Structure 1
């Protein structure tokens, strides 16, 4: 997933399909599981998003037509971001604080960008955590997790660093309210 790279600075290692293929695949599968876990609630409640209620825009004008027809509660982005934070903290415990903070900010950006209500994000995080708990009973997930841990250790030993300006990201994330 494209958003996998948003965790590179927090991980301290570039995350991409090329540089960390096992971790990238694990994140793709988790996106499907965690993001998908929210659709029963979205479809059942079809909560209107804040930008629609207040007749305002979002940070992503290009996504607004889709978001107008997609239920707001619970937030799939928040579920995925929190699930990624939990899993990545397990992959690299030495950077758990940074990774969990990034996972929190990933979901919180949905409130800041007017795409979700705070309660949508809170519920999304619960769905993400429940998904990760459930995945820990799945042998395929555990195998992928072990491969990702080994891959990150090797990448760090090889000096694989994020390509992004992590100092600028750190400043931006410090301005996020949560």
Structure 2
């Protein structure tokens, strides 16, 4: 015997399913951004970098000295710049923080609309940088400077979250140096400015009181190792070629950076005296 509601369900179901399809089409779920490399392909940070400086060593003493010098920059414009450099997010839309910190060095803005290939290079390699840093961070679980010296950071909202994460090596430092190498390849005429920005981008982590000097020194090495691996990836190579075309098109139309580059350059000249 057929249940009385069966016929009604049969009539309603097609309409219900069609409605669900329309809702799903109108509300697409953004695809998760991944790095270019599988985890097995990223540089082995545990094997490639030594253990962080042990207490009582000259290297550890240098870390403390530079950290103290960096603390003296609290409340300055350089401290404010460190806060800007700390934001490595890549929201869709014009002028995302991540990657556009290199706008002055590159001589143009980076965004997902006008420079999608450069945007992809920076966004996806940021994921690979995080994957590279993770194993060594978890292996050594080095305490961050602000945990040791109890001084504030430039990003107080992150202090609780970062407190239990390893300081060594610096994920921002790996990403910043990888970005510098990548951008210098797509815009070789701006290489010196780009490399300088890669260095002071990482030094912002010292000024922020989030990392020790040795954290960022080893990060540069891992950033270089990462870019070497990326060059063997077809998707990276395709984005790299497209990025060079984007640079050429931007130069041809006279596009430039929207930032106050003279002011930013003056601020970035301020650095801890003993920084490597």
**TM-score bracket, shorter-length normalisation:** over 0.9
2:267 maps to 1:172: yes
2:182 and 2:227 in contact (8 A); partners too: yes
2:243 maps to 1:148: yes
For residues 96-131 of structure 1, what are the alpha-carbon distances to aligned partners after superposition, in whole Å with 9 as ceiling and x for unaligned?
A: 000011011111110111100101111111111100
Structure 2 Cα separation of the partners of residues 59 and 127 of structure 1: 25
Structure 1 Cα separation of the partners of residues 115 and 250 of structure 2: 8
Structure 2 Cα separation of the partners of residues 157 and 173 of structure 1: 29
Structure 2 Cα separation of the partners of residues 104 and 3 of structure 1: 16
TM (normalized to structure 1)?
A: 0.97
1:116 paired residue number: 211
1:127 paired residue number: 222
Q: Which has the higher helix share?
A: 1
Deviation at 1:35, TM superposition (A): 2.3
Q: How does 1:6-155 map to 2 (within 5 A)?
A: 6-155=101-250
Deviation at 1:18, TM superposition (A): 2.0
Structure 1 Cα separation of the partners of residues 115 and 242 of structure 2: 10
Larger Rg: 2
2:255 to 153, 160, 174: 160
SS of residue paired to 1:15: coil
Structure 2 residue runs without a partner (length 5+) = 1-89, 91-96
TM (normalized to structure 2)?
A: 0.63
Structure 1 residue runs without a partner (length 5+) = none
Structure 2 Cα separation of the partners of residues 164 and 19 of structure 1: 17
For residues 41-93 of structure 1, what are the alpha-carbon distances to aligned partners after superposition, in whole Å with 9 as ceiling and x for unaligned?
A: 00111110011011111111111111101110000000000000000000100
Q: Using CA pairs below 8 Å that are at least 6 residues apart, which structure has the higher relative contact order? A: 1
Structure 2 Cα separation of the partners of residues 113 and 124 of structure 1: 16
Structure 2 Cα separation of the partners of residues 65 and 26 of structure 1: 30
- CA-atom RMSD, angstroms? 1.0
